[in-house]
Structure 1
Amino acid sequence: MICLIIVLSSCSENKQQSFILVDKSLANNAEEHYVDSTIGVRGKYKIDLKKFRTDSVYVEIKLYKKDLSNWKLVQNFHFLKNGVLTCDVEIKDYNNDGLNDCTFKSSIAARGANEIKKLFIFNEKEGKLTFIKNSEDFPNLQYNEDLNCIDAFRVYGGTQSVFAKIEGDSLKEYASVELFDKKITIITTAPDGSEHVIRNETYEGDSYIRFKNFSPLEEYKGNY
């Protein structure tokens, strides 16, 4: 049985088409197959992601660049992956440079509350993807338009909203808001790594809150 899901995304002049193909008998026995040509410079690059299940579960990611009428392989990544989750690939701009980047779900933690992703940022100068090596340390990551950063949401005995900047191939945390044990703690982190507590006091409200700003303190509303 073949399950073909068509996903359409539009650019200013024409529509690019992506698809997820779930069929073990096709795509070189790939369990999932995702292709998108809106990554990076639209129409000039495409990403091809496949999930395979053998003795282990792994993902292969290939980046191609268009060379006249052909596609030239630029990069090839391989990663082990949680076998239960689908890849749930997202192509969007994560660093506000106008070029689409990429994430896929690699694992899950805290009984499903912490969604773990691998993040790849398109580097226009090099024409390649930069794998953000510590992106899995920032669960439920997303792009924060208000602060032009990446924010994350860690769930454990309490919760922590984390704010980070992309620096090279890593995310560097610069602030956090923690709700734990009926306390709220806001910490900023200087470039040299030193931490400064700017608020630490009793908090009687809901502990499951994701914040979109730490100064002034502002919550996300609705879905996030």
Structure 2
Amino acid sequence: MTLTVEASSLSLNDVHRFLKLEKLSNASFVDFLSLEPLSEFEQQDLLKIRNDFDRYLSARKISEGLVKFLTIAPLMRLAGFYDVPIRLTMEDSIAMPAAVNNAVEDEDRRITGRMDILAINSPQSNVAPPFWVVVIETKNSAIEVGEGLPQLLTYAFKSLEQQSSVWGLVTNGLRYQFVYLRRDEQPSYQLMPLLSLNESPKAIELLQVFKAICKLANFQ
């Protein structure tokens, strides 16, 4: 009998055990990405995103849906994720095998769930599999980003069946935790430095990281 487990109910220890996923020591963005300076326009647009989010956060807790609308959507637009060849999908609109109903078999357990946002590089050929650029899990502003890490790792792990590495992000709108997963002989992941939208240097680095990850799609 197969036991179905929701990804949202998993702990980090569960993820490590079920997926045989190893946590490596934390890493730096510059180990994997080339971060470029922002233009004056990008910095001004970033400031507006920060101010808009702060205005809502000062009034009340921000829902998961509003976090996507206020921060993720404008940040990804500014970083270039709305451009060809990248295609964005959300939750049940994901059009790829096991993307809507994620499943990873481990003995008698089946882990299921839905990704919040997935950015993929759509191949020109129908034969080639899509390249997952980044997997994003969002939470409301009152939840610490670490609580969404087990879900994110589960969803991002699925991509390692067809590619050697993938970027993941879990955020509550204010804090941003990027994760880098690799297949190798032993699947593993590394946490990147925690970034914050309300701290100017960290906010700038946040957009730089988004832009650098976006550019990876052009090399696939």
Larger Rg: 1
- With CA pairs under 8 Å and 6+ residues apart, which has the higher RCO, 1 or 2? 2
- Check whether TM > 0.5: no
TM-score (ref. length: structure 2): 0.28
More strand by percentage: 1
TM-score (ref. length: structure 1): 0.28
